Amino acid sequence: MTDKKIINIAVIAHVDAGKSTLVDALLQQGGAFRENQEVKAQVMDSNDQERERGITIYSKNCAIEYKGIKINIVDTPGHADFSSEVERIMKTVDTVILLVDSSEGPMPQTRFVLHKALELGLRPILMINKIDKKDQRAEEVVDEVLELFMELDATNEQMEFPTLYGIAKNGIAQFTMQTSSTDLSPLFETIITQVGSYPIELAEQPTRMQVSTLAYDSFIGRLGIGRIFEGTLKEGQTVTIVGNDGVNKTGRISKIMVYQGLNRVSVTEAFAGDIVTIAGIEGISIGDTICDPQNVRPMEAITIEEPTMSMNFLVNTSPFAGKTGKFVTSRNIRERLERELEVNVGLKVEPLENSQVEGFKVLGRGELHLSVLIESMRREGFELGISKPEVIFHKDPVTGNTLEPMEKVIINVPTEYAGTIINKLNQRKGLMLDMDSDGVRDKVTYNIPMRALIGFRSEFTNDTHGEGIMVRSSNGFEPYKGDIESRANGVMISMANGKTLAYALGNLEERGILFVGPQTEVYEGMIVGQHSRDNDLDVNPTTGKKLTNTRSSGTDDAVKLTPYKNMTLEEALEYIEWDELVEVTPIDLRLRKKWLTQNERKQHRNDKRKATE
């Protein structure tokens, strides 16, 4: 086994470049499936939310064999919010396949994942994907990638990257645009040529392995996943674990598993170079180094970029609290967040102090990062009150000035809508970096405060009639840009408890956009719609038509209502203001005011006004 060549690769790219599709093809041609086996598309995206959203959220491992060589493959997320998943696995691989769309070229997240790979000294393999597109410009894209390598200070060796062209969905890779191919053989051969044999002598060194990912098994407990950098691991072996805090402890490995196809297979021994899953070490954590007790040499800690956004996860205090959820107390929420911290390294949790409602401040890498956690919790039976997302400001250590997180945004819209979008981005303190047009669609690049984009996506979709594309990625910190206008419209707030009636909703339609339909249970303080003006409006959506001596309640024509706006979780989180919450339950999403009665809201508005004076 020590003579068997093992190569570890990661597939990295911007979202929608075709990573998961390429991994499907590698697995298929690497013999991971039976000939007659029915396989789902994007087989590595096994999480329910991944399949529903059509994105990769978690880094995952699999393995294939090609010409007697074992190739461990790591599929990584492409969305900027999950970049912490990419950061921590880079040290476990020998090379990365950088996948770039033949039409779009390098996108913001491409820069981030490539930068991490180059920092660790990896020599990437470039694959231009989707060369069958009508608007492909593969040769230009290669030049753009070369420029990106130069901008990121790649070494001369890294600049000499091999380039392939392919169609991942058809399982094809070729050496040039002119040559033809029927499979991924050119990619397999390039991987083997690019990566030399893992040094045999390292297998004879004292054991050293670093944990890069965690998993959980209901039978054997917490699992640590990582690469063996030196030595061997044996089942039953006693090891020293060095934590990120430098504290040593002793443990015993009860089980070792390696990857074959999509499955983990138990082995009694594993060798340097392989990616393994180990069990039996209580409290194992990401970044821990597993060492030989006689030769303790901790590896460099895995550093993850700091969170940029926070939300408050509060105990649900609405009148409907506990009706559908199983887990409603602060203790339930705390235990669930503590479990999440064990596997989600991009997350931080702080207890709320001086708060009227029990809860926790949860810090993450963006709205999507946190909303995926919220959605997971509601599906598990949790009830929560979620506050408006807030960006995390920093202090400049030299000047003491406030710094705020910025984002690089690429907008691709039909030309007739470009003026509206540019105007709105300018109002939000954005700075245009580049603009290009082909006469039909305009491509605009902006540097803009992250907080300016909270609530902008739905507005962007409406303004572009669903034809616009917006891509975002983190772009460092810059001095505070000043106040930015928040939501322009007020809301309609229920002033009664009960079921909504079509008669009342029909009258309210004239005042704005409804968020609820007929026969919906509402309570005082619940938001039932958007007001057409900038002030909040208290309404009664439960009012029925009164009977009179001359007319019955059924004599008028039936009320015909416009379909109400049913918000998704992300839309609701973007929509709310500082004095509002999203009530999340396993069945329903509701918008509500933090303070339910008119008197309470008036009092807190006065208090806030006095505090700002």
What was the pLDDT predicted at 59?
65
Please report, in range form, the residues annotated as the binding site: 16-21, 129-132
- Please report the sign of the dihedral spanned by the C-alpha atoms of residue 119, residue 125, residue 129, residue 135: positive
Whether 331 and 206 map to the same domain: the answer is no
Domain that includes residue 372, residue range: 310-381
Judge whether 43 and 25 are in contact, CB under 8 Å: no
Average pLDDT, the chain: 85
- How many Cα atoms occupy the beta-carbon half-sphere of 150 within 13 Å? 6
Sequence-separated (6 or more) residues with CB below 8 Å from residue 521: 320, 498, 499
pLDDT of residue 75 exceeding 90: no
End-of-domain residue from the set 143, 165, 194: 194
Alpha helices, DSSP H only, in 30-82?
A: 48-53
Average pLDDT over residues 188-204: 81
Residues 234 and 164 in one domain: no
Residue with tokens 């990661």: 10
Pair (462, 512) in one structural domain: no
80, pLDDT greater than 60: no
Q: Number of structural domains, the chain?
A: 5
Same domain flag for 49 and 97: yes
First-to-last CA distance in the chain?
A: 73
Contacts of the segment 45-50: beta carbons below 8 A, 24+ positions apart = 45/20, 48/379, 49/372, 49/375, 49/376
287-302: pLDDT as tens digits: 889 999 999 998 887 7
The pLDDT, as a whole number, for residue 335 is 93
Whether 25 and 143 share a structural domain:
yes
What is the per-residue pLDDT across 535-590, written as a single tens digit (0 to 9) for each? 999 999 998 877 665 555 454 456 788 889 999 898 899 899 989 999 999 999 99
pTM of the predicted structure, to 2 decimals: 0.77
Mean pLDDT of 322-332: 93
Most confident of 111-120, 197-206, 416-425: 416-425
Tens of pLDDT, residue by residue over 135-154, are 899 999 999 999 999 988 89
Contacts of 259 (CB under 8 A, 6+ apart): 61, 62, 63, 72, 265, 275
Q: Are residues 438 and 399 in the same domain?
A: yes
Given a cut of 60, whether residue 186 has pLDDT beyond it is yes
Residue at 486 is within a domain: no
Residue 440 CA to chain centroid, in angstroms? Answer: 31
Can you list the alpha helix ranges (DSSP code H) found in 442-553? 456-463, 502-508
Do 277 and 376 reside in the same domain of the chain? Answer: no
Position 509 pLDDT exceeds 50: yes
Q: Mind giving me the DSSP string for 575-592? A: H--TTEEEEE-SS-EEEE
- DSSP H or E run through 301: none
* pLDDT at 556 (0 to 100): 45
469-499 per-position pLDDT tens digit? 887 777 888 999 988 887 888 999 999 999 9
Considering the domain boundaries, does residue 559 fall inside one? Answer: yes
Residue 581 lies in a domain: no
Contact 549, 341 (CB under 8 A): no
Residue 302 belongs to some domain of the structure: no
- Average pLDDT of the residues in 30-39: 58
Rounded-to-integer distance, Cα 490 and Cα 575, Å: 11
Give the domain CATH number at 287: 2.40.30.10
* Domain assignment of residue 519, yes or no: yes
The predicted structure's pLDDT at residue 173: 92
Please check whether residues 267 and 239 belong to one and the same domain: yes
Q: Which of 342-351, 376-385, 534-543 is predicted least confidently?
A: 342-351
pLDDT band at 45; cut points 50, 70, 90? very low
Span 106-128, mean pLDDT?
A: 84
Tally DSSP H helices, then E strands, for the chain.
14, 35
Strands (E), 343-479: 348-351, 359-364, 384-386, 390-391, 394-395, 402-414, 431-437, 441-449, 469-479
Say if residue 613's pLDDT is above 60.
no
Q: What is the mean pLDDT of residues 352-376?
A: 86
Tell me what pLDDT residue 52 has: 58
Cβ–Cβ under 8 Å, residues 357 and 317: yes
pLDDT over 60 (residue 54): no
Mean pLDDT of 428-446: 90
100 assigned to some structural domain: yes
CATH number at 413 reads 3.30.70.240
Q: What is residue 553's DSSP assignment?
A: T
In a domain, 216, yes or no: yes
Q: What is the pLDDT confidence band of residue 11, given thresholds at 50, 70 and 90?
A: confident
Residue 50 has pLDDT above 60, yes or no: no
pLDDT at 454: 86
Indicate whether 303 belongs to any domain: no
pLDDT for residue 1: 44
Closest to 139 in 3D by CA, of 174, 107, 108, 176? 176
Residues 6+ apart with CB under 8 A from 7: 69, 70, 71, 72, 94, 95, 191, 192, 195
Give, in degrees to the nearest 5, the angle at Cα 398 between 395 and 404: 30
Beta-bridge partners for 209: 228, 290
59 and 174 belong to one structural domain: yes
Kindly tell me if the per-residue pLDDT of 414 is higher than 70: yes
Residues flagged as binding site for GTP? 16-21, 129-132
Q: How high is the pLDDT of residue 475? A: 82
CA 80 – CA 460 distance, rounded (Å): 19
